[in-house]
Amino acid sequence: MAHIGPLGRTGAGWREPMLATLTDRRFSDEGWIFERKLDGVRAICSRNGDTPQLWSRNRKALNDAFPEIVDALAAHGGDRFVADGEIVAFEGTRTSFSKLAPRIHLTDPVRARESGIQVFYYLFDLLHFDGSEAVSLPLRLRKQLLQDAFDYEDPLRFSSHHNTDGEQYFEYACENGWEGLIAKRAASAYRHGRSADWLKFKCVADQELVIVGYTDPQGAREGFGALLLGYYDDSGFRYAGKVGTGFDRKTLRELHAALVAREVFQSPFPGLTIDPGTHWVRPELVAQIGFAEWTTDGRLRHPRFVGLRTDKDPAQVRREQQQQ
């Protein structure tokens, strides 16, 4: 391995991940690489001579939910590393957050292994390895080093990429039901936080939103009718509309119990007219929502509940803005 500088004082451990910026541009460029956008849970992995650790993007420990990945990192990685990747489950040939969701909330490794949900960990970046830092190196070199840093046997997988031709690869991604692509500037360093050096090409619209309330169920429906959703911006809290589809009976029952425990009496949206039978809750739960588009008045069109996210701080949930 090439010498890549001394490991910093922080050593192995959690790092704030680099995040991509949404864009509606599609382009091909020899200075960029293009990776499949995976529909899973972002995870930083680290090891400093002891048991490897898995961390969510908001610094929650994931070892108990994905013990087989921890085992694989211990068996097929070095003694000291920090790498970045995505944990996924498959529905056919497509990665599926809803398929993965039941694993995310488990805190018993035995139950996780016996869940019947097979998971994989796609590694796509290297931050530190064997006492050396890699974040300042160009991405192409980091990926070369990453490929050599682990033995890729399931559930560990290397996230491959295409060079230059982003437009044709994007068409292929959408035709095959993928989430989309991540375009990455090939010469860029790894920068913690959101960056325009990584761009999201989405085939489908989705968004993380905060659950702020629910409505009473109608007819034979159990639990609740719809969830009320919101997000933060520089002016405060914004209402994004309601979602009433995408729930199975188990989710309706379990999520209703979690909502009742968080119920409050005051609306977070003063002046907003809401139907009778609405209940407000503390803004502590984050949902992944698929939808067709945003309306001109800032509501979701044809929203669909995908699952709960525990890897996102509700206070950090904002409407994704496209880079033009």
- Which of 199, 206, 177 is closest to 26 using CA atoms? 199
Query: What span, in angstroms and rounded, lies between the C-alpha atoms of 18 and 220?
Result: 45
In angstroms, the CA 63 to CA 52 distance is 8
CA distances in angstroms from 295 to 92, 206, 268, 288, 307, listed in the order given: 32, 14, 21, 18, 22
Length of the chain: 324
- The rounded distance, in Å, linking the Cα atoms of 56 and 109 is 17
List residues bridging with 120 in a β-sheet. 88
- Cα–Cα dist 21/26, whole Å: 13
For residue 59, the 8-state DSSP code is S
Query: Do residues 283 and 272 make contact, with C-beta atoms less than 8 angstroms apart?
Result: no
Q: Which of 141, 97, 100, 125 is nearest to 195 (CA)?
A: 125
37 is catalytic: yes
End-to-end C-alpha distance for the chain, whole angstroms = 39
Counting Cα atoms < 13 Å in the Cβ hemisphere of 291 gives 23
Any idea which residue has 């936080």 for tokens? 193
Residue of 37, 99, 200, 312 marked active site: 37
* DSSP per residue, 95-125: E-HHHHHHHHT---HHHHHTS----EEEEEE
| Sequence-distant (≥ 6) Cβ neighbours of residue 255 within 8 angstroms | 223, 224, 227, 247, 308
Catalytic residues: 37
